[in-house]
Amino acid sequence: MFRLKKLFFAIFILSLAYLNVAAQRTEILLDEGWKFSKGNFPNAAEAGFNDTRWETVTVPHDWAISGPFDKEIDKQVTAITQNNETRASEKTGRTGALPYIGEGWYRKKLNLPTLKPNQKVLLQIDGAMSEPRVYLNGKQVGQWNYGYNYFYIDITNDLKVNDNLLAIHLKNMPKSSRWYPGAGLYRNVHLIIKEEKSIDQWGITVTTPIVKKEFAKVNIKTKLTGSGIRLVTQILDSLGKQVAIDTAKGIFGNEADQNLAISNPVLWSPERPYLYTAVSSLYEGNTLKDVVKTRLGIRTISFSAGIGFSLNGKVRKFKGVCLHHDLGPLGTAINTAALKRQLTILKEMGCDAIRSSHNMPSPEQLELCDEMGFMFLAESFDEWAKAKVENGYHLYFNTDAEKDIVNLVQANKNHPCIVMWSSGNEVPDQFGAEGVKRAKWLQEIFHREDPTRPVTVGMDQVKATMQSGFGALMDIPGLNYRVHLYEEANKVFPQGFILGSETASTVSSRGIYKFPVVKGFDKQYPDFQSSSYDLEYCSWSNVPDDDFVMQDDKPWVIGEFVWTGFDYLGEPTPYDTSWPSRSSYFGISDLAGLPKDRYYLYRSRWNKTKPTLHLLPHWNWEGREGETTPVFVYTSYDSAELFLNGKSLGVRKKDKSSPQNRYRLMWMDVKYEPGILKVVALDGNGKPVAEEKITTAGKPYKIVLTPDRKEITADGKDLSFVTVSVVDKNGVPCPTATNALNFEVNGAGTFKAVCNGDATSIESFVKPSMKLFSGKLVVVVQSDKKGGTIALKVKGKGLENGNIEVVSAK
């Protein structure tokens, strides 16, 4: 009876601890009340400095995204070796043609709660672009170099009782990036107030060394500061019900090691991303000193020769995409709603994996991948000791690489979504013995910090890595493109499998089609667009179908990460020497997040829960009457029949005569005539099961608004992405419309940004006007903190207005 009462009392105390976490450890998000100015101000860290004329901003903040676009910004004269270039040429728009270069200062008054004796205060910065130097009350208290990394500083001893001033200096050098890096405090800044006797920051490590149907062993190692303390850990299921509890038997070397058993565990996977929560409570006697909550997923991963990759004992292949860190018209400033929209679009496509390219991911992105079910390849560097750009990471590699990896792993090691690390991407160090040593050194650091996950490198110099031993030493040999070398590499490398760490680099512009329709690389046109027939690619790469063949026919190919899930700012290949062209063409969706045709090609293979039937091109070709206008169908069905104005143009069936015929249905000899183009999908018995049609549109008549969400949170941060399109008098979408539109937002929100997905547009993202591109654009509205109705009105000359209301609620 005594033991039973003692158990009930312990559970009661732990429940109180769980409900009152904020009383023991306080985390303050430093998002509002910042003063910002771009420029060099030698005295800006001092309290007496006059910042009254500085801009008031919220953080996360990207100082460069408001533009203007300018071809002279970071113009680089170089030969891009990754693009097989041997002669230097002028590159405009390589880093987005936005004003990210220069110095900037952020200042904020810290109004802290009254600190108790033996409390300590940490300042954590999730990412600052770049070279942050942190000052408190005029004194430099910390610094970091790598703009993509997370770091924290103990500022306890430098705090005053009141009137504290935090100042952060940032500096972006020219020729420091190969894409748009952003600028400013683009990720979140936190203050953590806790007891001196407490759980260390990033001090909890969760692993699941034994996973069976009947039970799982959860190992939790916890680093602690202080003596005479007791650690109690409970694990809660997704509904908050306790499923395990343990009191640490001892603390050795300031670390507790606990094993907890969970009966009949629910395993984490992309199909069912089930999350538990570990609640770590630290006591001194009966006084609760600290509480930390850690989300965890129970899952197993393995990579083995002859089998490939297995998750929870089941063999599967990665259906992944690479993502840069910018959010299109929002720039690099992290926003959870924008990230979630991206992942929702990818989930509908059937994507199950993300590679952070070529940088360390944000905490918010990883949290969403845990929740929504995406496996994650977390990347670290784009450069090692050898340079790609003049002022790149190679300047810091020898001094900073180890501590950067340590922070990457320690901050993120408990995310179940992460299934592998990457120590680099297409580094010039792939050549020679020194590169092999660096690869081994970096991999061993990852292994030391996290023995549970393998390490890869995105290798593009495949022949060199086969000869030097570079590829052989990697846990996972990752090949960027080079599908023609997969077979040879797999014979040379001892691992017994190959990962397509970067694939395709197919280029296209949403809704733009070029004739004649011929497969080819590095194609360029006077309008600086690429054809959405999805047969154009870069000299070093290939069309998607070539990767599909390897994924489907070679069991030792364990998946792919397509370049890229979304267009991103910078790297406007194949137009990186042309102006205006300031963002990529690689995306499966465009910069506004609107799916291109290629989206449905991938969906037809990847989405196994819903059928796909997509018809292209559009059917507005005035002046092309009677000319050959090929029609493609991307579908999960094996065959379909095409009709033009009621007349059958024949049945096509997928076959293996070529990669394109295997994955696309193509009618190459269609003669254009206006009217109705219809495709009817057929089942295995030749019976109709689905259809889609495209109708030739008349003149634009009315504006149509379609939000991704009609209800958002009144937190001053949440966003609704409203797709704007135009239709004719009969309601038929106008796919070639380029009307100039104006936007007006009233009520409980504000206009945030606009984007039409055109890589050649130099219209501002932050001004409430823009032209349609291929008949569409996206307007982003942001909630305020009051709540209510947000009214968006869109106007265009000669068009019926579009109006929509979005509810913003507490």
- pLDDT (tens digit, 9 = 90+) per residue, 260-296? 999 999 999 999 999 999 999 999 999 999 999 999 9
Distance of alpha carbon 91 from its chain centroid, rounded?
26
Query: Is residue 92 within 8 Å of residue 75, measured between CB atoms?
Result: yes
Domain map (residue ranges) of the chain: 2-21+197-296, 31-195, 301-505+540-568, 613-617+621-695, 702-809
Q: Under the phi-then-psi rule, with left for phi > 0, alpha for psi from -120 to 50, and beta for the rest, what region is 155? A: alpha
The pLDDT of residue 11 is 38
Confidence of residue 634 (pLDDT cuts 50, 70, 90): very high
- Whether residue 84 is predicted with pLDDT greater than 90 in this model: the reply is no
The reply to whether 348 belongs to the active site is: no
Q: Under the phi-then-psi rule, with left for phi > 0, alpha for psi from -120 to 50, and beta for the rest, what region is 787? A: left
Written as six digits, the tokens of 597 are 């045709």
Look-up of token digits 């068009």: 799
The one-letter code for the residue type at 429 is D
The pLDDT of residue 85 is 76
The pLDDT of residue 2 is 36
Tens-digit pLDDT profile for residues 788-799: 999 999 999 999
Tens-digit pLDDT profile for residues 556-581: 999 999 999 999 999 999 999 999 99
The reply to whether 763 belongs to the active site is: no
Tens-digit pLDDT profile for residues 760-807: 999 999 999 999 999 999 999 999 999 999 999 999 999 999 999 999
Of 61-65, 107-111, 113-117, 276-280, minimum mean pLDDT range: 113-117
- Whether residue 549 is predicted with pLDDT greater than 70 in this model: the reply is yes
The one-letter code for the residue type at 414 is N
Q: 702-809 is classed in which CATH architecture?
A: Sandwich (2.60)
Decide which of 25 and 2 is more confident.
Answer: 25
Rounded CA separation 558/552 (Å)? 10
Q: Calculate ∠ Cα 572-131-437, nearest 5°.
A: 80
Region 201-218: mean pLDDT is 97
The pLDDT of residue 617 is 98
Of 110-114, 199-203, 423-427, 694-698, minimum mean pLDDT range: 110-114
Decide which of 76 and 449 is more confident.
Answer: 449
Tens-digit pLDDT profile for residues 491-508: 999 999 999 999 999 999
Look-up of token digits 């950067």: 404
Classify residue 521 as exposed, middle or buried by CB count within 10 Å of its CB (0-12, 13-18, 19+): middle
User: Hey, which residues does 684 pair with through a beta bridge?
Assistant: none
The pLDDT of residue 82 is 73
Alpha-carbon radius of gyration of the chain: 28
Rounded CA separation 664/655 (Å)? 9
- Whether residue 679 is predicted with pLDDT greater than 70 in this model: the reply is yes
Written as six digits, the tokens of 256 are 């507790």
| Whether domain 613-617+621-695 has CATH 3.30.56.10 | no
Instruction: Please name the residues in contact with 457: beta carbons below 8 A apart, sequence gap of 6 or more.
Output: 422, 423, 424, 425, 427, 430, 439, 470, 474, 478, 501
**Residue ranges of the alpha helices (H) in 119-275?**
none
Query: Is residue 233 within 8 Å of residue 203, measured between CB atoms?
Result: no
Written as six digits, the tokens of 125 are 């910065």
Half-sphere exposure of residue 489: CA atoms within 13 angstroms, side-chain side: 30
Tens-digit pLDDT profile for residues 315-356: 999 999 999 999 999 999 999 999 999 999 999 999 999 999
Rounded CA separation 437/425 (Å)? 16
- Rounded to 5 degrees, what are φ and ψ at 240? 90, 10
**Residue ranges of the alpha helices (H) in 585-712?**
597-606, 659-663
CATH superfamily assigned to domain 31-195: Galactose-binding domain-like (2.60.120.260)
502, 536, 560, 641: the catalytic one is 502
Averaged pLDDT of the chain:
95
Q: Do the domains spanning 613-617+621-695 and 702-809 agree at the CATH topology level?
A: yes
Query: Is residue 639 within 8 Å of residue 646, measured between CB atoms?
Result: no
- Whether residue 23 is predicted with pLDDT greater than 60 in this model: the reply is no
**Residue ranges of the alpha helices (H) in 350-413?**
363-372, 397-412
195, 426, 560, 571: the catalytic one is 426
**Residue ranges of the alpha helices (H) in 554-691?**
597-606, 659-663
Q: What is the dotted CATH code of the domain comprising 301-505+540-568?
A: 3.20.20.80
Rounded CA separation 354/370 (Å)? 12
Beta strands in 173-254 (DSSP E): 189-195, 198-211, 215-225, 230-236, 242-247, 251-252
What percent of the chain stands above pLDDT 70?
Answer: 97
The pLDDT of residue 376 is 98
Query: Is residue 412 within 8 Å of residue 394, measured between CB atoms?
Result: no
The pLDDT of residue 6 is 39
b/e code 395-412 from CB counts within 10 Å (16+ = b):
bbbeebbebbbbbbbbbb
Confidence of residue 13 (pLDDT cuts 50, 70, 90): very low
- Whether residue 248 is predicted with pLDDT greater than 50 in this model: the reply is yes
What percent of the chain stands above pLDDT 90?
Answer: 93
The one-letter code for the residue type at 199 is I
Region 510-520: mean pLDDT is 97
User: Hey, which residues does 498 pair with through a beta bridge?
Assistant: 557
The pLDDT of residue 404 is 98
Q: What DSSP character marks residue 773?
A: B
Q: What is the dotted CATH code of the domain comprising 2-21+197-296?
A: 2.60.40.10
Omega of the bond leading into 130 within 30 degrees of 0 (cis): yes
Region 599-619: mean pLDDT is 98
The pLDDT of residue 134 is 98
Tens-digit pLDDT profile for residues 691-740: 999 999 999 999 999 999 999 999 999 999 999 999 999 999 999 999 99
